[in-house]
Amino acid sequence: MHNHEGAKPITVPQRVYEWYHAHYCNSSYRAFRDALTESAHYGQLSTEQSNDEFIGDTMNLLIDASFERSGAERHHGAEAQLMQQIAHLDSRLTTLARIHLMNFNGSAKEEVEQALLDARLLAETAVQKASDIHSWRGRVAYAWASAAMFLLHAAFAVLIENVNDVYTLEKVDRALDHLRNGIVEAKQNGFILSEHAQKEVRNNDRKS
């Protein structure tokens, strides 16, 4: 039994308490906390609280949401509240929160969700890094990494029952836009495309 950083005393059934501590992952907890703290360097996180207060409340919500995932009925709704609290911040925080919360589940569907979240996080990092490469190859890498990122968003969203179709399809549309933009950029710089890719370019030109 360990007492991780930021934990607060919580009364929960013993079975829930044991499940929580057996599945708690300090690295994912710290990753979320560090990203939240880093966000505070760029400005005010909340109009109603100081950054320190907001970070403290958000970390407590992460803990409560973890207990909710572990089966604590008294914390029902904590995850939804957490997601609402960080919705206006960088989407990376939502990804990191979900990655941490996935530690407390175990079904096949949840394992797929975890894998998609991990892949999405890697794709988001690739997009950020590619944006610093100032060449046509860098622009193509950025476009196609962005396409992958939005497709992973859509793949994850389609598994989550409370996400509407409009959100999911919007992510697919954005993925296709980035994919086409990358194809156009590649063609303009002498990249040899397949017949299918060339057809996509022609279709995109007609739309333009």
Stated pTM of the model: 0.57
Q: Could you give the CA distance from residue 103 to residue 87 in angstroms, rounded to a whole number?
A: 21
pLDDT in tens, 127-150: 999 999 999 999 999 999 999 999
Domain boundaries, the chain: 1-105, 128-208
AA identity, residue 160: I
22 pLDDT more than 70:
yes
> What string of DSSP letters covers 40-62?
HTTS-S-SSS-HHHHHHHHHHHH
pLDDT in tens, 89-121: 988 999 999 999 999 876 667 778 878 888 998
pLDDT, position 204: 60
Name the least confident of 51-65, 69-83, 137-151: 69-83
Please give the structure tokens belonging to residue 82. Answer: 């957490």
Q: Could you give the CA distance from residue 114 to residue 178 in angstroms, rounded to a whole number?
A: 25
Higher-scoring residue by pLDDT: 161, 37? 37
